[in-house]
Structure 1
């Protein structure tokens, strides 16, 4: 999403795209008090934005024209981007009864000051008793007439959370109430600073946890949400932090507690702040054997009275690995909180974490910095890591030469269960490339008795005062870099792409023999420059054509680049199966797909809108026509069992666009269709007969492009645990397990 560019809707938004982005007009909005509304330009989600202008001095308000169904007791979130050079603003959720009578408005804290720069405002609350509908409300209080407040990128729906966050949505964003408590020498509140967040960053902005120092000295606050953890698992805590001054001794801590509530481990990540902006600081740590819960805390090691520390988008999650199956924990591979246990075992090289924040990194915000004052050889070594599988492995690490020149050789040492070194291997030294970041890759085959490994880098500075940086260390099973598998039972193709670089962009497409190239569908729609969130990406293509050879292609891009860094090709064919059977598929919910027995293909019709004008004295009319419409016809099929019948109802119930596929040679091309009124008939008078005859009126439509597979990318049981306290709460909120998976509460 770029500023001034119309984009797809915010996932899960109850508001229409027109209401959310004010495109092409303001029909989704209505005045509520002392204002007029119009469409202005220069928005965030698109060029358009909502302009609310005061009629006279005093508070002005506007609201969404429509009301949106809500369920009492369920938490909802509203946010928007705002701009107001003269007066600060606030956002609210207006709760209404079934007869549209206002119950109450839940208001956000008013923005700290007026700001013409676009900034995020947000509020969340539980729908009160008696609430049936909700509206989004904007408010500001100008001192006179003709004062403007601008709004764009508006959302109303269920709370947003970062994928995999163990903390609740409210602990992450503080949009409803403060989940933070003062621990030492401070007071804690919620404020709404003016921060120019990306319009795509839906979990940041609005209220932030704010710590105000009481007296000179150290100060700290903590999050009161303490999720359960598993001993031996590495977790990572991170947050956006705004320090009071450049160089402030601000920090984030990941703390572990035992079952009695006694703190058993604390790991701190110190922010090397280059200024007073917002910086995302990370800290990873493995939960010790007696850990039961985790906590995140923030503070200043030294501070003066009145200084303020702010935090937003607070997350505790299972620590990611930079390659799937890597045995190197984040603490030792990403160097966000220190040098990760790496040491100099020979030579004069010194190790440190890069500084300040954001100065040098391949991922995160820091890297391991190796410096040599003399032109000599040094060897650095990692801690020992436990092997988790046998067979070939791959050792990789990214590097960047920042001063002087270097040669490098990689090495691996293997240890048995008693900790004795039993083997080692190393590569021939080679010059380190410049400029920019490079990747060292070494393949290895651990011996049978190897239980642990330690990684080495032998670095030779070929000039005095040389410096090199390292990041993203990994040691993982060496599998094919990509592959594709055909699943005949589901008429689909599984694509697997490994060793991708997190943060880059991915495009996946298929090409048929006639040269037509189509993007493959992923969790957020067609995969076109999709952000890579994991080093291994698996895609299930349920829309692959039947019985013909298809070529798959994938490309990866650096952000902002147009030339791919990497690409791959596969050729696969999905067997067509019995030519008397056809597939009816839901592109967004492939679990509903069904193969049925065809009775009769449609006799297609193609309507056209025409206007006839009879000219006096002329035999022939003047006909004005629009373009001819798509295919329309009735598909006749059979279901042969009660299970097939129930599955077909399950497929048809949501009324979504379907893909109809038949075997090649049947005179029918793959077509996306909308299904009209369905007729389910019996084939014989006997009630016991399970066969049914179905008439499905079809109308051809365009392929849905923004629809994602299952519509729930990244949702896990941890998300359910963080949102609902008991299974009774889950059962009260959802009708089916599919609704749990897709996060669709009742109503």
Structure 2
């Protein structure tokens, strides 16, 4: 599979179907091997004699001096290896090489090597170098899954790439107590498509016996009252090592004011790489945050390795849930959950990864007797005054449970108990995870709510796991809203099942259906990755009633469940105006005043053969083409004129929409050479007359709606130190939105 943002071609990156993207630089021959990770192919670098051997990319790739670039690859063999970026000037001469550290040990299993660094002054091109040093000739080293490009970082991470990753250096971390901080390159067999990890990791080494810890030097700004989640890969030195990660908050003076710690409990045999999460709501006086990690009771010389430090706004386990991430995910403990009555006990599941629907931990519930117990979450503000939906996902671990009843307990502003909703009861089968939900009306005085579970064991020593607890306002599963200023319709789909496929159709009154556009093209059997999907349909017809049909396909199934929406109509508006819309870039859409609609032609390719002695010619014809004609429009202001230039700039297929009754149906068109003329007024007159040659085309199928792909201003803050750096990287604000960089 192609690595996003890779400057290398697929052939060069994946070594399929050949090795044409690579050449020998020093003491080696190259050939194609088998057993690769992406495809079957891999690059064999064979030494000619003892000593360092190097291979490089045939091509040199454009870079911008001062910009940080990253390279990584998966390697295997009997040698330690390193990877580098070779910086070249405009004449192709070498300026310098940024090398990674060499791997700590050789490994015959595929493992990651990588490095990142800023292009030096004068650099205009770069090559990837692969290096290892055999003690003899005819020694093979294997390479695959190779990347060169801008650093790949976690979208939404408050930290810069230099803190999230150790590929540049170790300056994102500092020793806090009884420790030294360095970088190492262990041979780690990361997943082939885990592009967020590199080869170099942070090593926290205990200088003496006792607790040892390190903390990030990066202190990004946080918003008080916001729930944040931190996570990082921990690689403990032994199975018994007591390691942890901590999310810390600081006030404006840099004083630590709170911390949320999450301790790792390793599964046997231990010493793997475990992503550990911690979360907490930023206090009212919080200004910045950091992430810390450490070992309790370390022996001198023990090493805790770290990779992939991330702090983001905590994700909602269900859109709109009022439970903080810690209470819904149970990743760092039982949070606000308590046993209100009965013999049941609760704890975080153990060890890491034994039972979880999301993340790596859940709430473990045990009952020693065949009796009922009541388990309750913390209470949280419930601002809506209509109804809420509570849900858990549960799995049976031991014994049996006759019922699990889920309800909502309500409280007023003074924390007085207002009682519970009636609740819904479920049985708990012996295997798999099961969603259990209930709806609850909000009492008149209620301002807070909590999830309450009555769990009834039907056997002694019964156990269950609970995960993904959520409590949210019960809103319509499907909602539509007309947005008149943009002549569009917003379709909101809630509580979608993850990992299903979805198809979304726009339905006309005659029953005809048209697939609706999403970020990657038409929404046709598209994988669902979030329970909330908001679709902005800019191609809906104006002045015509439409509704939406949603098909949801379970994994591997061809039989969908369906949802339907209400019928809505975009107001037709002024009949003298029409819309020109760019399906892939709706921010460019504009309304123009029509001077004259086209006089249509339908071209056809024909060849006539006149046979001697026959009156009529023999004519061979192809299929008659679509409509062609000239649309003439006015722009009335300089802003309208600039907007029309903007939508025409890309040369992409456009959608032309006129008011119903004007004798023209909605049409996808390609615009030829556009002519802009003055209307005969003064030089200061802003009116312009435009002639737009239109050629009818098919609806674009693979064009997706351009969007930020989850990026926010936080990503700009994390990636750039100054606004000047932003201006130097992006030509327009649209380029900032779509992350289209210059150079």
TM-score w.r.t. structure 2 length? 0.86
Q: Do the aligned residues in 1 keep the contact of 2:423 with 2:439 (CA within 8 Å)?
A: no
Aligned position for 1:438: 434
Q: Do the aligned residues in 2 keep the contact of 1:529 with 1:557 (CA within 8 Å)?
A: no
Deviations 1:329-381 (A, max 9, x none): 11111111111121112111111111111111111111111111111121112
Aligned position for 2:689: 692
Tell me: CA distance 1:133–1:54, structure 2 relative to 1, closer, same or farther (3 Å): same
Tell me: CA distance 1:526–1:133, structure 2 relative to 1, closer, same or farther (3 Å): farther
Deviations 1:256-304 (A, max 9, x none): 2222222222221111111222221111112223322211111122333
Q: Secondary structure at the match of 1:129?
A: coil
Deviations 1:649-680 (A, max 9, x none): 2123344455566789968785475x665544
Aligned position for 1:175: 167
Moved more, 723-732 or 540-549: 540-549
How far did 1:537 drift? 1.8
**Rounded Cα–Cα distance in structure 2 between residues aligned with 1:187 and 1:565:** 57
Tell me: CA distance 1:218–1:390, structure 2 relative to 1, closer, same or farther (3 Å): same
Tell me: CA distance 1:348–1:419, structure 2 relative to 1, closer, same or farther (3 Å): same
**Rounded Cα–Cα distance in structure 1 between residues aligned with 2:58 and 2:537:** 39
Aligned position for 2:88: 96
Aligned partner of 1:188 among 181, 201, 204: 181
**Rounded Cα–Cα distance in structure 2 between residues aligned with 1:656 and 1:67:** 30
Structural RMSD (CA): 3.5
Aligned position for 2:199: 206
How far did 1:242 drift? 1.9
Count of aligned pairs between the two proteins: 718
Tell me: CA distance 1:699–1:132, structure 2 relative to 1, closer, same or farther (3 Å): farther
Aligned position for 1:374: 369
The 5 Å alignment of 1:600-639 reads 600=598, 603=601, 636-639=631-634
Q: Which runs of 5+ in 1 are unaligned?
A: 1-6, 611-624
Q: Do the aligned residues in 2 keep the contact of 1:606 with 1:632 (CA within 8 Å)?
A: no
Aligned partner of 2:285 among 287, 290, 293: 290
Moved more, 373-382 or 444-453: 444-453
Moved more, 143-152 or 647-656: 143-152
Deviations 1:5-45 (A, max 9, x none): xx4x4333334444444454444444433444444444334
Aligned position for 1:3: none
**Rounded Cα–Cα distance in structure 1 between residues aligned with 2:415 and 2:570:** 53
Q: Do the aligned residues in 2 keep the contact of 1:85 with 1:116 (CA within 8 Å)?
A: yes
Q: Secondary structure at the match of 2:155?
A: coil
Aligned position for 2:615: none
Q: Do the aligned residues in 2 keep the contact of 1:229 with 1:293 (CA within 8 Å)?
A: yes
**Rounded Cα–Cα distance in structure 2 between residues aligned with 1:333 and 1:211:** 31
Q: Do the aligned residues in 2 keep the contact of 1:33 with 1:60 (CA within 8 Å)?
A: yes
**Rounded Cα–Cα distance in structure 2 between residues aligned with 1:397 and 1:199:** 33
Q: Secondary structure at the match of 1:719?
A: helix
Tell me: CA distance 1:516–1:88, structure 2 relative to 1, closer, same or farther (3 Å): farther
Q: Aligned pair 1:337/2:332, yes or no? A: yes
TM-score w.r.t. structure 1 length? 0.86
Q: Do the aligned residues in 2 keep the contact of 1:630 with 1:701 (CA within 8 Å)?
A: no
Tell me: CA distance 1:685–1:329, structure 2 relative to 1, closer, same or farther (3 Å): closer
Q: Secondary structure at the match of 1:218?
A: strand
How far did 1:95 drift? 2.1
Tell me: CA distance 1:571–1:348, structure 2 relative to 1, closer, same or farther (3 Å): closer
Moved more, 361-370 or 27-36: 27-36
Aligned position for 2:155: 163
Aligned position for 1:241: 234
**Rounded Cα–Cα distance in structure 2 between residues aligned with 1:607 and 1:25:** 43
Aligned position for 1:590: 586
Moved more, 584-593 or 174-183: 584-593
**Rounded Cα–Cα distance in structure 2 between residues aligned with 1:384 and 1:552:** 38
Aligned partner of 2:451 among 455, 479, 487: 455
Q: Aligned pair 1:109/2:107, yes or no? A: no
Q: Do the aligned residues in 2 keep the contact of 1:68 with 1:133 (CA within 8 Å)?
A: yes
**Rounded Cα–Cα distance in structure 1 between residues aligned with 2:194 and 2:318:** 25
Deviations 1:430-480 (A, max 9, x none): 433443211221111222222222321112111111111111111111101
Aligned position for 1:620: none
Q: Do the aligned residues in 2 keep the contact of 1:604 with 1:631 (CA within 8 Å)?
A: yes
**Rounded Cα–Cα distance in structure 1 between residues aligned with 2:199 and 2:701:** 33
Q: Do the aligned residues in 1 keep the contact of 2:582 with 2:654 (CA within 8 Å)?
A: yes
**Rounded Cα–Cα distance in structure 2 between residues aligned with 1:241 and 1:700:** 54
**Rounded Cα–Cα distance in structure 2 between residues aligned with 1:736 and 1:476:** 39
Aligned partner of 1:553 among 550, 553, 560: 550
Q: Secondary structure at the match of 1:117?
A: coil
**Rounded Cα–Cα distance in structure 2 between residues aligned with 1:699 and 1:714:** 34
Q: Secondary structure at the match of 1:402?
A: strand
Q: Which runs of 5+ in 2 are unaligned?
A: 608-619
Tell me: CA distance 1:717–1:402, structure 2 relative to 1, closer, same or farther (3 Å): same
Q: Secondary structure at the match of 2:715?
A: helix
Q: Secondary structure at the match of 2:110?
A: strand
Q: Aligned pair 1:724/2:716, yes or no? A: no
Q: Do the aligned residues in 2 keep the contact of 1:606 with 1:631 (CA within 8 Å)?
A: no
Aligned position for 1:78: 71
Tell me: CA distance 1:241–1:68, structure 2 relative to 1, closer, same or farther (3 Å): same
Q: Aligned pair 1:508/2:506, yes or no? A: no
Q: Do the aligned residues in 2 keep the contact of 1:393 with 1:478 (CA within 8 Å)?
A: yes
Aligned position for 1:250: 243
Q: Do the aligned residues in 1 keep the contact of 2:115 with 2:198 (CA within 8 Å)?
A: no
**Rounded Cα–Cα distance in structure 2 between residues aligned with 1:192 and 1:708:** 39
